[in-house]
Amino acid sequence: MAQDLGISYFSNPHDLCEQNPQVILLCTSIISTEPILKSLPLQCLGRDTLFVDMLPVKEFSKALLLKLLPSYFDIVCTHPIFRVERSKHGWNGVLFVYEKVRISSDGLRISLCDNFLNMFKKEGCRMVEISCAEHDKYVAGSQFITQTIGKVLGMLTLESTPINTKGYETLLDLVENAAGDSFDLYYEFFMYNKNALEMLERLDFAFDSLKRQLFGYLHDAVRKQLFGNAEKARTLHEDNKVPNPSHNGAASVSSLKAMRSHKIAQVLDHKAQILDRVDDNPRLKIAIVGFGNFGQFLAKTIIHQGHVVLAYSRSDYQDVAQKMGVICFSDAEDLCEQHPEVILFCTSILSTEKVLRSFPVQRLMRNTLFVDVLSVKEFPRNLFLQKLPLDFDILCTHPMFGPESGKNGWNGLPLVYDKVRVGSDESRVSLCERFLDIFALEGCRMVEMSCAEHDRHAAGSQFITHTIGRVLEKVGLESTPIPTNDYTTLLNLVKNTVGDSFDLYYGLFIYNVNAMDQLKRLDLAFESLKEQLFGRLYGVFHEQHFENANESPVKQENPCCQIVPDCSCIDKMN
């Protein structure tokens, strides 16, 4: 290989050092660095030799080089933060972190160090000079967290679904990237970066805190059912941040990308047909019930398409509505007397039943179409079927995007729908189609799917995405001067999910029968990863302290066997 690259290769370190290289660049693994350094015949090297290491843990390598190298050698500690497979076409924009640990004041030696660093600068690397200690602190808060999330989700064997949200797709990419890193590398990172344990503890604490929050609300809700209103319900608000110290589809991640572009092309074709249809039809009169975050977000586009939007909500939104051109009602009877053709429920999952129960449906025209956009689907489907007279039609939808992920348009984003009950009369069929056309016209990927199927897919994807976003929010991720792409992805995920109310997240948990199972799997995966890390530490300790080191007391079990019942990994087969 060296010959192909035009490199002189030496199998004996004496031969290498006798060539009198100006720079010794250590590309060793963390664990092997010390024995390799000790095996080098340093006395053969010129005293002005520059030693450079590229280990991902910098305080460790700095201390090691200072300890083992005579004081006449110069030392630069570096960490090029990029993946080999991603950077094979060039290093433009990749981060190159370094600290000039010891450079003598001699002009030639200063310029040797600068020339070495300039090689990377010329390739377009983003050069960041920070101390090794700062590097380790930032990296534990970003790279180690990213790898941990990637490893935990990797154990869940997440799969692409036909209704992926943008957030879920970024998680799939993260898992794919983390799969490229061995557990050994992750373990070394954990062992040799002194800040990593604290980050793991914070993640642990954040996950526990989220679970406590969910179970607390659940406990309140069940007690309320058992004891009526004798006890006051807990007010829904978020806990404080952590203090600073299935098979749900078939496609693989890569095939998903091809599927995405194919779907977008189909959507564009379809859009032209819809435009013809919309031009022939008069505009719709749509009443939005629940004019909060998501109701307003939908209203903007619906108005933009020329439809008439009325709104009714618990809070007073007169000013916002007026600015948007929406007619706002504080009395549901007044709203219904306007005889809207469509009633669009944008209420929180938790409040929908209560709002529907008090809704004066008797004031509406027969054939009114009831639509909901709740993020769970079986629950509103059953509720509408139970409560709404047969005169009304029912369409259950879930736009799989929100104000953040859909802020630049809805093109290519999935709209899941189930025509639960639509009369056969031509005008009723057409009303339902015209409503769906609002989304199709914006380029949404229209996915017709039963409510039950939706909930199965969404628990494995959307609920997991929201959970990870909320856990990381509690960890209190901060921006760093050396962010990796994966870390930026996680920061964006947090931004997307915390924009949603806790009611929404709690609704996803409580009203999707599959969510509890997914939470358990996530919990188990995280526990398994910790067990694997601490199991190895325990094994190392015993190896050091007991003669009988080969009979390690720790059973090293592959964590995927514990999460995936039908796991076919090599360990299990053995």
- The contact pattern for ligand NAP, residues 393-412, with x = CB under 6 A and - = no contact, is ------x--x----------
Looking at residues 44 to 83 of the shown chain, list those that interact with ligand NAP (rule: CB under 6 A). Answer: none
Q: How far is the CB of 443 from ligand NAP (least distance, A)?
A: 17
Question: Whole-angstrom Cα distance, residue 266 to residue 374?
Answer: 26
Q: Which of 156, 199, 373, 510 binds ligand NAP (CB under 6 A)?
A: 373
Q: By Cβ distance, which residue is nearest to ligand NAP? A: 402
Figure out which of the listed residues 314, 387, 419, 530 binds ligand NAP, where binding follows CB under 6 A: 314
Torsion of CA 222, 226, 230, 231, to 10 degrees: -20
Phi and psi at 227, nearest 5°, equal -110, 10
User: How does DSSP assign 324-385, residue by residue?
Assistant: HTPEEESSHHHHHHT--SEEEE---TTTHHHHHHT--GGGSPTTPEEEE--S--HHHHHHHH
Contacts (CB under 6 A) with ligand NAP, residues 343-362: 346-349, 351, 354-355
**Range 503-562, binding ligand NAP (CB under 6 A):** 503-504, 507
Least separation in angstroms between residue 139's CB and ligand NAP is: 32
CB of 7 to ligand NAP, least distance (A): 54
463 sits near ligand NAP (criterion: CB under 6 A): no
Between 60 and 291, whose beta carbon lies closer to ligand NAP?
A: 291
Segment near ligand NAP (CB under 6 A), from 96-104, 182-190, 370-378, 564-572? 370-378
Cβ closest to ligand NAP, residue 354 vs residue 572 = 354
For the bound state, the minimum distance from the C-beta of residue 389 to ligand NAP, rounded and expressed in Å, comes to 22
Q: What is the DSSP letter of 88?
A: T
> In terms of C-beta distances under 8 Å and separation of at least 24 residues, what long-range contacts does 279-282 make, across chains too?
281/430, 281/434
Q: How far is the CB of 367 from ligand NAP (least distance, A)?
A: 25
Piece of 259-267, 311-319, 363-371, 536-544 that binds ligand NAP (CB under 6 A) = 311-319
Q: What six digits make up the tokens of 299? A: 């209203």
CA distance 1 to 16: 17
Query: Using the rule CB under 6 A, which residue among 313, 462, 484, 497 binds ligand NAP?
Result: 313
Question: Which range touches ligand NAP (CB under 6 A), out of 27-35, 259-267, 275-283, 310-318?
Answer: 310-318
> Partners of 414 in the beta sheet?
445
Size of the site for ligand NAP (CB under 6 A): 26
Nearest by Cα to 512 from 454, 448, 449:
454
Site for ligand NAP in 315-334 (CB under 6 A): 315
Nearer to ligand NAP, 503 or 557 (CB): 503
How many residues are present in the chain?
574
Q: How far is the CB of 313 from ligand NAP (least distance, A)?
A: 3
Q: Which residues contact 54 (CB under 8 A, 6 or more apart)?
A: 25, 26, 27, 78, 79, 80
Tell me how far apart the alpha carbons of residues 143 and 139 are, in angstroms, rounded to a whole number: 5
Task: Work out how close the CB of 321 gets to ligand NAP at its nearest, in angstroms, rounded to a whole number.
Answer: 11
Name the nearest CA neighbour of 437 among 395, 376, 402: 395
**Angle, helix 253-280 to helix 166-179, in steps of 10 degrees:** 170
Taking each helix axis as running N to C, give the angle between helix 166-179 and helix 464-475, from 0 to 180 degrees, rounded to the nearest 10: 80
Q: Is 419 strand, coil or helix?
A: strand
Q: Which is nearer to ligand NAP, 197 or 327 (CB)?
A: 327
Show the site string, 479-508: x = touches ligand NAP by CB under 6 A, - = not: ---------------------xx-xx--x-
Smallest gap from Cβ 462 to ligand NAP, in A, equals 9
Nearer to ligand NAP, 411 or 501 (CB): 501
Choose the stretch contacting ligand NAP; rule: CB under 6 A; options: 21-29, 101-109, 308-316, 549-557: 308-316
Q: How far apart are CA 90 and CA 240, in angstroms?
A: 43
Instruction: Tell the smallest beta-carbon distance from residue 297 to ligand NAP (Å).
Output: 7
Of 65 and 163, nearer to ligand NAP (C-beta) is 163
Is the CA virtual torsion 128, 131, 136, 137 positive or negative?
Answer: negative
The strand pair at 95-102 and 74-81 is best described as antiparallel
Stretch in the footprint of ligand NAP (CB under 6 A) among 10-18, 209-217, 369-377, 554-562? 369-377
- Sequence-ordered alpha helix ranges (H) in 193-252: 196-227
Q: Which of 295, 340, 469, 559 binds ligand NAP (CB under 6 A)?
A: 295
Residue 369 — φ and ψ, nearest 5°?
A: -95, 120
* Distance of alpha carbon 42 from alpha carbon 481, whole angstroms: 36
Dist CA 82 CA 90 (whole Å): 11
Determine, following the binding rule CB under 6 A, whether residue 301 of this chain makes contact with ligand NAP.
no
- Beta-ladder partners of 445: 414
User: Least CB distance from residue 435 to ligand NAP, whole Å?
Assistant: 16
Question: Judged by CB, which is closer to ligand NAP: 167, or 559?
Answer: 167
Footprint (CB under 6 A) of ligand NAP, residues 244-263: none
Contact 163, 416 (CB under 8 A): yes
Comparing CB distances to ligand NAP, the nearer of 178 and 344 is 344
Rounded to 5 degrees, what are φ and ψ at 420? -70, -45
Helix, strand or coil for residue 99? Answer: strand
Stretch of residues binding ligand NAP (CB under 6 A), selected from 167-175, 192-200, 251-259, 340-348: 340-348
CA angle 118, 121, 126 (to 5 degrees): 140
- Residue 177 vs 347, nearer CB to ligand NAP: 347
Which residues of this chain interact with ligand NAP, rule CB under 6 A? Answer: 290-295, 313-315, 346-349, 351, 354-355, 373-375, 399, 402, 500-501, 503-504, 507
